[in-house]
Structure 1
Amino acid sequence: MPVVKGVAMFAAFGFLIDYSRRAPRVAEAAHYCALWIGFFVALEILSYAVATLRMPLWDSQFARADAALGFNWNAGFDWITALSPWLRSILEHAYHNTIIQVLLLTAFFAAIKRRDRNRELLWIGILSGLITITLSGLFPALGPYGKGGMPRWSAVLLTLRDGSLQKFALGSMTGVVSFPSFHTVIAVLVVYVNRPPLRSFVPVAILNALMLVAIPFAGHHYLVDMIAGVAVTTVSILIVRTARTRCARA
């Protein structure tokens, strides 16, 4: 219910402001926030459903691919844990700001009258999210982990695969997608939609560069997860740009 109320509140507020025609930029921000919250929740539910396909785990193949690329997850994790607490805190906050970053950018684009960037952000996000969840069902993985034991999301994925988890509450859900990395998708996407001439490009790029450093270890991802995330975003950008160009010509 909190999610339903949140979406309804943003949608109703946007409708009322739009109807009054007094603050169109506020109405746009509210509309897009409602759409994004609804989409994120639907995507999370879909990821749980897709996990019940119970396709064979790909951890061994992904680990071998990382080794072939020269990426040592355990060495990188040891390096991260050896950093000073304030550096680790910066990386952790950079990793956990995806939803907040998207909602703030929605308000920012509305405020500077760049509805085209809001539209790009939403459509590319929807397409790349659906591709990501589909691939996660076909190529599931638990992700790498070290001496600290299996992360919570990997344990949840196992309960979804063996059928022991059949009921869940939205508030207790966690991400269960390893391949491709959706955090990488969001990082690349938000940098793209802030491309010049927007002055927000440099600070957004720095913030998401920090996120990319944190993703393998905070999210327990293989390097190939991130490479796949970049590929998914690139394909989604090309598809949306092509579709928008054709629509504009029509």
Structure 2
Amino acid sequence: MSTALALFLPLLFLNCLFMYLAAATNKPLMDSSFAYIDAALGFDWLAAVRTLNSSSIVASVLMFSYHAIGPLMIGLLFLLALSSDADALMEFIAMIAVSAVFTGSMMMAFPTAGAYAFYAPSHETYSNFTGMGGLLHLQTLTTLRSGRPFVFHIAGAMGLVSFPSFHCALGIIVAYSYRRIYWLAAVVGALVAIMIPSTIPEGGHHLTDAIAGILIGLACIAIVRAVSTKRRHATTLVTEG
């Protein structure tokens, strides 16, 4: 457990700092481009949010799943540490680190403010959602992009990523990592499946953000698995030699 925390807590700090630095760019926002891609895919963001908002029950389920990603990650960290499966624990932490590098780099290359900032919907459009993921970060993002002095406090750090959806990337990684805990795997998988569409009304993401986040999650799994397999193969050769 101490090893896990010694790795995870500094990673959490560096991840947040990297995202803040990535957001501090004066490149033009690309929300209009992603809205265009969404439209080309036949997706109407405002219509989708209105539809999901029409049922308070559906909205409550989506919000619960959206905000469950943090507890799921912490729970997984503790469960893997308590299982004494060091390889599984290191795999999970490695995937989080790789996903942060991908997400921060793409965030810096393709800056966006999010769908709420772009569409500016009336409150009635999302009245059953908090919209916190799509609105709370806007003032901080504006300050960072302005070039004015900014003091980073980890205690007050918030999610700044719009493209790609870090929520979706983490969801894919978490669902994959829970495969080793068979009695929870199906439940977590179902929760993540609900969480992904929740990133649109609750997180304020474009559909393109969610798709990119899913692809990053899958890519991180593939990369870490490939490196892990290569390392085990090299270890086996050295042992046999």
Q: TM-score, normalised by structure 2?
A: 0.84
**Whole-angstrom distance in 2 between the partners of 1:223 and 1:165:** 33
Aligned to 2:28: 56
Structure 1 residue runs of 5 or longer lacking an equivalent are 1-28
Post-superposition offset of 1:221: 0.3
Aligned to 1:249: 233
Post-superposition offset of 1:179: 0.8
* 1:179 and 1:228 in contact (8 A); partners too: yes
Matched, 1:240 2:224: yes
* 1:139 and 1:179 in contact (8 A); partners too: yes
Post-superposition offset of 1:155: 2.9
Identity in percent: 31
1:200 aligned counterpart, secondary structure? helix
Query: What amino acid sits opposite 2:74 in the alignment?
Result: L
Matched, 1:73 2:48: no
Post-superposition offset of 1:178: 0.7
Aligned to 1:106: 77
Q: TM-score, normalised by structure 1?
A: 0.81
Aligned to 2:13: 41
Post-superposition offset of 1:128: 0.9
Post-superposition offset of 1:118: 1.5
Aligned to 1:147: 122
**Whole-angstrom distance in 1 between the partners of 2:42 and 2:180:** 34
Post-superposition offset of 1:119: 1.6
**Whole-angstrom distance in 1 between the partners of 2:167 and 2:144:** 22
Matched, 1:229 2:204: no
2:37 aligned counterpart, secondary structure? helix
Please list, as runs of the form range in 1=range in 2, the aligned pairs for 1:1-250 lying within 5 A after superposition: 29-84=1-56, 86-145=57-116, 146-148=121-123, 151-164=135-148, 166-195=150-179, 198-250=182-234
* 1:36 and 1:103 in contact (8 A); partners too: no
* 2:4 and 2:81 in contact (8 A); partners too: no
Number of residues of Structure 1 aligned to a counterpart in Structure 2? 221
Query: What amino acid sits opposite 2:7 in the alignment?
Result: L
- More displaced 10-residue stretch of structure 1: 72-81 or 197-206: 197-206
Larger relative contact order, structure 1 or 2 (CA cutoff 8 Å, min sep 6): 2
Post-superposition offset of 1:187: 0.6
2:205 aligned counterpart, secondary structure? coil
Structure 2 residue runs of 5 or longer lacking an equivalent are 124-130, 235-241
